[in-house]
Amino acid sequence: MSRGEKGFGIIVTFCIMFLFWLILSEFFDAFHLIMGGICSAIVTLISHGLLVKGKSQKMLPKFLRLLFYIPWQLWQIVLANVDVAYRVLHPKMPIDPRIIEFETSLRGDFALATLANSITLTPGTITIFVEPGKGKFWVHALAREPADAHLVDKTMQRKVAHVFMECNGPSMGKNR
């Protein structure tokens, strides 16, 4: 990493740590602010390489698109939780679990982590394994309809690729 990127990482980490100090302690007089500054500086010096990994292009539009992606995600979570509640309370328990495997065209770390988290939060699917080199996902699905929503529709992959500005080419998947 060049020195400019390292400096950017240090400043962003210090700002985030100081913001947390201000939120968690409700005193805004000079003594506590200076203590907060010293503690945030010590923590930043020790671990500035962990949180921010240098600058990437076009961070602000990505962040704004992420903020717009979250309400759609919350609505999907509520819908699918009602579906799982129906499956739990039904006396015959209509589940048919299977493992599916598909490839996406996302390559960035943060994009893969967001998609894995979204897949695990939407009930009906759990991410088992992610291969970061080729963008492959192994997913355990509870029944046929949630599995089809990821293999056939690919709505979630298209939305995450739109948020992180990576093109979504053709991808294949197979049942196991």
Partner 1 sequence: MLLVNAIVTIFLATGMFFMFIGAIGLLRFPDFYTRLHATGKCDTLGEGLIIVGLIIYHLFHYPGTSLVTVKLLFLIIFIFIANPTAIHAIVKAAYRRGFKPWRCGEGRR
| Residue 27: CA count within 13 A, CB half-sphere | 8
Q: Work out whether 93 is an interface residue with partner 1 (CB under 8 A).
A: yes
Residue nearer to partner 1 on the CB measure, 80 or 163: 80
CA angle 20, 21, 24 (to 5 degrees): 80
Looking at beta carbons only, is 5 or 127 nearer to partner 1? 127
Output the CA–CA distances (angstroms, integers) from residue 79 to 15, 33, 44, 45, 86, in the order listed: 37, 44, 41, 44, 11
Phi/psi at 174 (nearest 5 deg)?
-145, 155
| Candidate ranges 45-53, 77-85, 103-111, 165-173; the one touching partner 1 (CB under 8 A) | 77-85
If one asks whether residue 81 binds partner 1 (CB under 8 A), the answer comes out as yes
Residue ranges in contact with partner 1 by CB under 8 A: 23-24, 26, 77-78, 80-81, 84-85, 88-89, 93, 95-99, 116-117, 120-124, 126-129, 138, 140, 142
